[in-house]
Amino acid sequence: MATMKIPQALLNSGNLIPTLGFGTTTYPMPPPEQLTSILMDAVEAGYRHFDTAAPYGTEELRPDIAEGIQMFQPKSLKEVFSLARMRDDQLLRQQRFTRAPPINRHPLNLPSPVKSQTTVPMKRLTWEEMQRRRA
């Protein structure tokens, strides 16, 4: 098998990070053991990011990735990323969104199943009914 070099980007810290992830969606879906073998080949080729998702039907790869975590042990200290720093950055980002969720300034103009002309009389009639019952 010919080995290929995964493109990498230089981070501000001086570390290199792979710029490509390995997509796991295939059609038709191979058996799980074949998919695991493909995953192992991708790790040996240098991939470190794997895209698994329920719509792809590849969520069963998660245990294989978790069990095979020793595959991801770095060959040198340069490959090691500060996970604590990454975790702190992720927590800060999450806190920003929990305090003040992002506001969509440009909502999509999707067609509504309810015609706007019918909602106005309904609101008026509802208000009139509330006033009538209150009296």
Residues above pLDDT 70, as percent of the chain = 41
Whole-structure pTM value: 0.40
Of 56, 57, 64, 65, the catalytic one is 56
| Alpha-carbon gap, residue 62 to 39, rounded angstroms | 11
pLDDT at position 83: 47
| Alpha-carbon gap, residue 130 to 135, rounded angstroms | 9
Helix ranges (DSSP H) in the chain: 32-45, 61-67, 83-99, 116-134
Q: Place 127 in a pLDDT band, splitting at 50, 70 and 90.
A: confident
Residues 61-77 have pLDDT tens digits of 766 665 555 555 555 55
| Alpha-carbon gap, residue 61 to 11, rounded angstroms | 29
> In this structure, what token pair is assigned to residue 100?
């003040």
Residues 8-30 have pLDDT tens digits of 888 888 888 777 777 777 777 77
Q: Is-catalytic flag, 47? A: no
Domain boundaries, the chain: 8-73
Mean pLDDT is highest, among 73-77, 81-85, 90-94, 110-114, for 90-94
